Structure 1
Amino acid sequence: MTVARRLALGLAALPLLLLAACSSDDQGSNTDPSQVDAIDAPELGACRLLTPDDVAMASNATRTVDCTEKHTAETFAVGDLPQSFDHADVDDKELGAWAYRTCSEKFQRFLGADESLVMRTVVSWAWFRPSEKAWSAGARWYRCDAVGGGEQSTSYVALPQTAKGLLLGVPDDKWMVCASGPTVSGSVKIPCSHHHDWRAVTTIKLGESGDDYPGDRLVEVKTRDYCSGSVAAWLSYPVDYDFGYTYFHEAEWSAGNRRSVCWAKTNA
């Protein structure tokens, strides 16, 4: 029996860690003077009302708020950078790759999820480093924040008092990512608790950390072929079904991402 399938190709974006600063002097909205150009590492567990514009900055000094109050970001990891960055430039590309690996691993442990589940949640993470002035003065710290939204978000949703363990067990649909639109590509990404057309249901790992980038074509073909079968299984092998997929390119591979995402047409 022939199974009809429509391929809805989309290209996912890299998590927020690689966004560059819009201005070397801009450290976000509602800044705290004591945090601007700070030499010492930020506070672990601090909460903030960050916006997508704040996250687009390489450094951030937005005031903290009590975590019992409304907030869209929670700092889940802070620390000192490796000594290999002692004499590096503030915009060293290796710093972004190191932050991707470090924050990604800590983010998974913080939410209580594996890599596949983390890629299918509306919650994402951003990382910040010292300002250029602080870097020149010797500051070498990093800060990883969980944020209530993703790359396409125009605003962030409020997080619970703490996002620690947010994805343990069976996560609530309001924290899982779905899409609204005729195809996955270019569609609006929304929580699955909202009416949606597509749901991110599985992922495929395309290589290990030390592997060379296999090329755009091979990444796309492997993703498409895997998602075809994976989505069929998730839907309990219907006669007719639609699926989509998102994959990444060489820049994201170099930063550490090795997974593509499979989407099922649900009309839920």
Structure 2
Amino acid sequence: MDFPGRSVRMVTGSAPLVALVVLAALLLSACSDPARVDPEGDPDQVDAVEAPPLGACRQLSLEETAAVTNATRIVDCAKPHTAQTYAVGDLPEEFAEADYDSAEVGAFAYRTCTSELIKFLGGDESITMRSILGWSWFRPSEKAWDKGARWYRCDVTGGAGPQSASLVPLPEKAKGLLQGRPDDAWMACAAEPAFSEAAKVPCSEDHLWRAVTTIKLGEINDPYPGDEAVEAQTGKFCQGSVKAYLNYPDDFEFAYTWFGEKDWAAGNRRSVCWAKTDE
């Protein structure tokens, strides 16, 4: 499953401030839906006890990125693919007796896959969160888990979960894609006038919204400040940040996506600011 974020669209100018609050999917998928069996998968991977190889590329679909386990056949990274494994490892010993669907295992994967993704792509936390590049994590099958398999696999994908219209192909070498000034092909925009209905698209395509900044709301050991405080701080920051980004116009529209207590517990400390712009 995805932890739901809340997206808010604001209109500023001569009219009173108007807010439209809706539910939106989390920009960085943290958990997964029940496993889906791929009839064309690699039988050697289906119930593998051994950890999968690092650096492997696969042609995953949006649906496959939401499964808890995956055995899609590995392809040459020079050929079309939408996912690449950037982190693999054994779960800490504390999870040796954990349940298959343990929330604590999911939280560990969230923190690990997020931090390793930032290192792999080469951008900072804000740039990574504002990109169309997402991640999915996979664990062994239940059969392999019962045999003692305790590995995790993090895949970078050309799209950040359900908010993306579709997965986009990755280049042969995905490492370092967000270093320096990232290409608009990898940054997150939205094409629909109503922000609440907008699927994410690359900013290299026609768009009406762009993710322009993020705000860090706390440190990793800080307690959750509460929904009201998170939204208020996010809204205030994003209004000023987006206005500055747009060069201080009298009238402008902005939006923001903030995340609740479950996401905070998993390790997320940022909200995202969006500007209404076709640039």
TM-score calculated relative to the size of structure 2: 0.90
Matched, 1:59 2:69: yes
Equivalent AA in structure 2 for residue 83 of structure 1: E
Gaps of 5+ in 1: none
Aligned to 2:125: 115
CA distance in 2, matches of 1:49, 1:95: 26
Matched, 1:201 2:225: no
1:158 to 149, 155, 169: 169
CA contact (8 A) 2:165 2:199 kept: no
Between 248-257 and 191-200, the greater mean CA deviation after superposition: 248-257
Q: How is 1:234-249 mapped onto 2 (pairs within 5 angstroms)?
A: 234-249=245-260
Aligned to 1:210: 221
Equivalent AA in structure 1 for residue 30 of structure 2: L
Q: 1:167 to 1:202 in 2, by over 3 A?
A: same
CA distance in 1, matches of 2:217, 2:39: 38
Gaps of 5+ in 2: 1-11
CA distance in 1, matches of 2:38, 2:61: 9
Q: How many residues align?
A: 264
Q: How is 1:19-58 mapped onto 2 (pairs within 5 angstroms)?
A: 19-21=32-34, 23=35, 26-28=36-38, 30-58=40-68
CA distance in 2, matches of 1:49, 1:237: 43
Q: Secondary structure at the match of 1:244?
A: strand
Q: 1:183 to 1:217 in 2, by over 3 A?
A: farther
Matched, 1:257 2:268: yes
Query: Identity rate of aligned residues, in percent?
Result: 56
Deviation of residue 11 (structure 1)? 4.5
CA distance in 2, matches of 1:113, 1:265: 24
Q: Secondary structure at the match of 1:252?
A: helix
Q: CA RMSD for the aligned pairs?
A: 1.7
CA distance in 1, matches of 2:249, 2:39: 49
Q: Which has the higher contact order (CA 8 A, sep 6+)?
A: 1
Matched, 1:84 2:94: yes
CA distance in 2, matches of 1:116, 1:8: 24
Q: Secondary structure at the match of 1:91?
A: coil
* Runs of 4 or more above 4 Å deviation: 2-12
Equivalent AA in structure 2 for residue 118 of structure 1: T
Equivalent AA in structure 2 for residue 237 of structure 1: Y
CA contact (8 A) 1:52 1:154 kept: no
Q: Secondary structure at the match of 2:225?
A: coil
